[in-house]
Amino acid sequence: MVKICGIGAGYVGGPTMAVIALKCPSIEVAVVDISHSRISAWNSNKLPIYEPGLEEVVNQCRGKNLLFSTDVEKHVCEADIIFVSVNTPTKIRGLGAGKAADLTYWESAARMIADVSKSNKIVIEKSTVPVRTAEAIEKILTHNTNSKGIKYQILSNPEFLSEGTAIQDLLKPDRVLIGGNQDPEGLEAIKKLKDIYAHWVPQDRIITTNLWSAELSKLADNAFLAQRISSINAMSALCEATGAEVSQVSLALSKNTKIGPKFLNASVGFGGSCFQKDILNLVYICESNGLTEVANYWKEVIKVNDYQKSRFVHRVVTSMFNTVSGKKIAILGFAFKKDTSDTRKTPAIDVCKGLLGDNACLSIYDPRVNETQIQKDLSMDGVEWEHPIHLQPLSCSVVKQVNVVGDAYEATRDAHGLCILTEWDEFKTIDYQRVYENMQKPAFVFDGRNMLNVDKLREIGFIVYSIGRPLDQWLNNMKIMN
């Protein structure tokens, strides 16, 4: 029986390993993590992450061919194949600070593998890593186990799942990418991994490349997706200035088969653990190779994203007579997108911090994100979140002007304005007439996800700002005031 060990039981490692276990009943899959709380949650009825369909997959396999454990060394030692999905945060200090990937956790995983291994292993990069990381990992492994005569093959098998649809993405991937050395041993390792995916993925969707192409493809993939969002967001600003409608522009673009329909929704900005981190990483690699123009090109994608978030805060403040000091603002949605509890790099953090900077009182509701998480996000420095949970501060100061509540009606009661920051479906079906009646007047709606029926809201009496749509007379007048 082939044994697989997955190091890192996070958003990537947990669902990926669970689906492999589901589709390969003859393979024993152990998921290990240094965080005891994460592992005990994986072994409980309340999984540590929310992902539609995940619970069903875990319930089907756990106790059969899927186990979660903190005994990292035992399972690494026993495994034939090791998937590594540990954190690769942006470096906080030192060379490349603010841009380069911090490979501390990857390096310590590699050293641990070298220490405990007694047989040959295939080590697979699942985490996003800078190009040529495999080379460094190979050096660590071989220099530390030379005397034992153990052979390692490093493969790059980047993950393309999206949170919220992770299980579907894993069950029906549009492609699986496997990069490895092109010598006979490397090709044999590639084949072994290909055989695992072949249990459920059609052969023509499994692409094999050399190591560096696979590593770079992952960074390029996220950079291209983020670039599309920044492009449509840049257009949204122009739409507001000219009276065009960004959703109509998106629709027109989407019908061009050369462009296609995805990733054209204007928003308050992209978030998530990957896009910004991977672009910064790409920028650093370009700069390290003397490619300043290329680095600057990708930097603009992040600049437009930051601009989009600050533009939104500016709209809120200027519309409300140029101050939100002491005013209650309802924040609907805090996760970085719908159907996930993940708040890493969510645009809501920057928008809320911007409003708090102007002394607003925030009443926040998100169907999946709890108060502790929101308070941590608003009081801590964002980069700390990219590190493993057990290394994060146990407690944080409470932001007094933030109140986290249990539903949208409570959040909006007596509020001066409401901001939609995540596109949760339930926000479409709120009784906005009731919300309006219970709000201060004039009552404002700021739709950061372009998801509400603006005409209906205006009929009710709201003053509405929706990203990329023609401005209300009110907002136009306020613009002149500024």
Show which residues are catalytic. 274
Q: Of 222, 403, 450, 466, which lies in the binding site for ligand UDX, with binding defined by CB under 6 A?
A: 222
- Asked if residue 216 binds ligand UDX (CB under 6 A), the reply is no
Q: Of 4, 5, 13, 348, which lies in the binding site for ligand UDX, with binding defined by CB under 6 A?
A: 13
- Asked if residue 159 binds ligand UDX (CB under 6 A), the reply is yes
Q: Of 96, 130, 271, 468, which lies in the binding site for ligand UDX, with binding defined by CB under 6 A?
A: 271
**Least distance between ligand UDX and beta carbon 265 (Å):** 3
Q: What are phi and psi of 97, to 5 degrees?
A: -55, 140
- Asked if residue 130 binds ligand UDX (CB under 6 A), the reply is no
Q: Of 274, 295, 364, 475, which lies in the binding site for ligand UDX, with binding defined by CB under 6 A?
A: 274
- For residues 341 and 49, is the Cβ–Cβ distance under 8 A? yes
- Asked if residue 173 binds ligand UDX (CB under 6 A), the reply is no
3-state secondary structure of 4: strand
Pair of tokens at residue 459:
């009929």
- Asked if residue 86 binds ligand UDX (CB under 6 A), the reply is yes
- For residues 482 and 464, is the Cβ–Cβ distance under 8 A? no
Instruction: Report the Cα 395 to chain-centroid distance in Å.
Output: 23
Q: Of 24, 225, 316, 356, which lies in the binding site for ligand UDX, with binding defined by CB under 6 A?
A: 225
**Least distance between ligand UDX and beta carbon 166 (Å):** 8
- Asked if residue 34 binds ligand UDX (CB under 6 A), the reply is yes
Among 97, 219, 210, residue whose Cα is nearest residue 156: 210
- Asked if residue 297 binds ligand UDX (CB under 6 A), the reply is no
Pair of tokens at residue 405:
């509540």
Q: Which is nearer to ligand UDX, 275 or 427 (CB)?
A: 275
Q: Of 4, 6, 8, 113, which lies in the binding site for ligand UDX, with binding defined by CB under 6 A?
A: 8
Q: Which is nearer to ligand UDX, 128 or 403 (CB)?
A: 128
Q: Which is nearer to ligand UDX, 229 or 443 (CB)?
A: 229
**For residue 275, what are the contacts with CB-CB under 8 A and spacing of at least 6?**
222, 225, 226, 305, 345
Q: Which is nearer to ligand UDX, 327 or 376 (CB)?
A: 376
Alpha-helix runs per DSSP H in 2-53: 13-23, 36-42
- Asked if residue 9 binds ligand UDX (CB under 6 A), the reply is yes
CA atoms within 13 A on the CB side of 144: 19
Q: Which is nearer to ligand UDX, 25 or 52 (CB)?
A: 52
The CA-atom distances, in angstroms, between 469 and each of 114, 261, 372 are 57, 19, 35
- For residues 83 and 109, is the Cβ–Cβ distance under 8 A? no
Tell me the per-residue interface mask from 229 to 258 with ligand UDX, x by CB under 6 A, - otherwise: x-----------------------------
Among 318, 297, 138, residue whose Cα is nearest residue 230: 297
Q: Of 53, 186, 382, 388, which lies in the binding site for ligand UDX, with binding defined by CB under 6 A?
A: 388
Q: Between vectors from CA 271 to CA 266 and to CA 277, what angle results, nearest 5°? A: 125
Q: Which is nearer to ligand UDX, 231 or 401 (CB)?
A: 231
- Asked if residue 35 binds ligand UDX (CB under 6 A), the reply is yes
Looking at residue 468, what DSSP letter applies? T
**Least distance between ligand UDX and beta carbon 8 (Å):** 3
- Asked if residue 38 binds ligand UDX (CB under 6 A), the reply is yes
Instruction: Report the Cα 264 to chain-centroid distance in Å.
Output: 17
Q: Which of residues 336-355 bind ligand UDX (CB under 6 A)?
A: 336-337
3-state secondary structure of 215: helix
Q: Between vectors from CA 353 to CA 400 and to CA 404, what angle results, nearest 5°? A: 45
List the beta strands (DSSP E) in 287-354. Answer: 328-332
- For residues 467 and 236, is the Cβ–Cβ distance under 8 A? yes
- Asked if residue 424 binds ligand UDX (CB under 6 A), the reply is no
Name the site residues for ligand UDX (rule: CB under 6 A).
7-13, 33-35, 38, 85-88, 105, 108-109, 127-128, 159-163, 222, 225, 229, 263-265, 267, 270-275, 336-337, 388-389
